[in-house]
Amino acid sequence: MDKSRQRGVLYIVVPCYNEEEALETSAGKLLDKLHELKKREIISDKSRIVFVDDGSRDRTWELIKGLYDGTEEIKGLRFAHNRGHQNAILAGMLYSRAYCDYTITIDADLQQDVNAMERFIDAYVNGSEVVYGVRNSRDTDGFFKKLSATLFYKTMRLMDCDIYENSADYRLMSVSALDALAEYSEVNLFLRGIIPDIGLKSSVVYFDVFPRMQGKSKYSLTKMLTLAADGITSFSIKPIRMVFAMGVLALLVGFGMIIHIIYEHYFGYTVGGWSSILMSIWILGGAILLSLGIIGEYVGRNYMETKRRPRYYFWEILSRDEGQSNHETGKQI
């Protein structure tokens, strides 16, 4: 137990995208938790909740503003347009870095059990720089999500990524871990993969997942597929190697075919053969297209990375800290 780590300043970072239905209930629950932790002297009185509005098109930002006006412990950040869950979390964490000792990220629908926070903080006090939240079970997910998640984690492991299976973006990060994370400047962001790569002392907390109470899931199929592609391509060039290996294999089969063709030419019959030709055209054509696609993914991502565009840009900031006006605009980190 490290005394200097007790009663640290906690910033809870909450990404919100079109969460008008869930926001107020969730904010209430988070505030209750914050007050309880303060009262029990587990965290400092300076602890806050930061809502990051990821370019919502509904009333989310108005609700955040309302909460900010009525409660001292709430802050708000707003993107001008939708930049995705990962960027929202990153922005919230890097913003908080200047004010806190550690952050905990949690989804706005509070599907993750807020009561696990004490265990996250305990692990931090005992010396962990990163505390991963890992789901106890996936019972609340549908069949498709369960299957795709399992496949995804298996692929990631195959790609040499040190990811925890069923880890979520419910996670505690100390300021030192955030400083290290800030050094990773990739645009195609997959936090669950990058954070283990930092390599600081870490531990795991298991938590329960509840069904979403208000609103619908904001993770569309496209968003999920993009996240998976980011995860896979940002961690390994193995898929490109696999394409290469496939090419070599096809070539070997091709050589075999030459022998077979010559043999057939002299000793068999050469008419017919329609089916085998058609089959090779389709198989080879398919393999070539697939390979080009995989390489294209990398080239495309390379292009995005070399542009070095900012990952996010704050349109509005709601904060009572000195040096920041209530409605500071256009701040970039």
The binding site for ligand UDP (CB under 6 A) comprises: 15-17, 19, 54, 82, 84-85, 88, 107-109, 111, 217-219, 223
Query: Does the protein bind Mg ion through residue 105 (CB under 5 A)?
Result: no
Nearer of residues 80 and 288 to ligand UDP, judged by Cβ: 80
CB of 239 to Mg ion, least distance (A): 29
Which of Mg ion, ligand UDP, none interacts with 90 (beta carbon under 5 to 8 A by kind)? none
Nearer of residues 110 and 131 to ligand UDP, judged by Cβ: 110
Nearer of residues 111 and 188 to Mg ion, judged by Cβ: 111
Nearest to 26 by CA among 89, 100, 106, 102: 106
Hey, how many other C-beta atoms are within 10 angstroms of the C-beta on 105? 27
Query: Does the protein bind Mg ion through residue 111 (CB under 5 A)?
Result: yes
CB of 193 to ligand UDP, least distance (A): 17
Structure tokens at 199: 């390599």
Structure tokens at 234: 């940002």
Closest residue by beta carbon to ligand UDP: 217
d(CA 331, CA 333): 7
CB of 68 to ligand UDP, least distance (A): 18
- Token match 């968003």: residue? 223
d(CA 293, CA 72): 51
Which of Mg ion, ligand UDP, none interacts with 16 (beta carbon under 5 to 8 A by kind)? ligand UDP
CB of 112 to ligand UDP, least distance (A): 9
Show the 3-state SS of 270-288.
CCCCHHHHHHHHHHHHHHH
d(CA 14, CA 3): 28
d(CA 288, CA 256): 19
Which of Mg ion, ligand UDP, none interacts with 301 (beta carbon under 5 to 8 A by kind)? none
CB contact at 8 A, 97 and 71: no
Query: Does the protein bind Mg ion through residue 113 (CB under 5 A)?
Result: no
Nearer of residues 73 and 107 to ligand UDP, judged by Cβ: 107
CA 176 from centroid of its chain's CA atoms: 20
Query: Does the protein bind Mg ion through residue 109 (CB under 5 A)?
Result: yes
Please report, as ranges, the residues that interact with Mg ion according to CB under 5 A.
107, 109, 111
